[in-house]
Amino acid sequence: MMFGHGSGWAWWQVLVMWVGIVGFWALIVWAVYALDSSVTRRPDHEPRADRDDGPRRILDERLANGDIDTEEYRRLRDLSGAGDPTLVGAGDKR
């Protein structure tokens, strides 16, 4: 076969082929980007329990670091309504 001597493609057929190839690869790149961004940039990616016990977790961390004592912990826990009335830990002075 001799290309360019009456048996080749017309210019518009080559153009359609190249537009199709570029469109196909653009679609693949977009799909990978969309999948990656939907998985990694989701604001509610953390478990529900971690978001709901924010005040309790902060109080627990402050008690563990020694920033507050057990009486202050109980007072702040009662003010914030941070849940469970029992104090778990070695510093419990009931």
Closest by CA to 59, choosing from 75, 45, 35, 41, is 75
Quick one: pLDDT at residue 38? 81
**For residue 44, what are the contacts with CB-CB under 8 A and spacing of at least 6?**
51
- Which regions of the chain are under pLDDT 70? 1-7, 42-53, 81-94
Domain segments of the chain: what residues?
48-80
Quick one: pLDDT at residue 23? 98
**For residue 65, what are the contacts with CB-CB under 8 A and spacing of at least 6?**
none
Prediction pTM value: 0.38
**Distances from the Cα of 76 to the Cαs of 5, 11, 16, 18, 19, in angstroms?**
89, 77, 70, 67, 65
Q: What is the mean pLDDT of the chain?
A: 77
Quick one: pLDDT at residue 22? 98
Kindly report each contact of residues 40-44 with a partner whose C-beta sits within 8 Å and lies 24 or more positions away, as own/partner: none
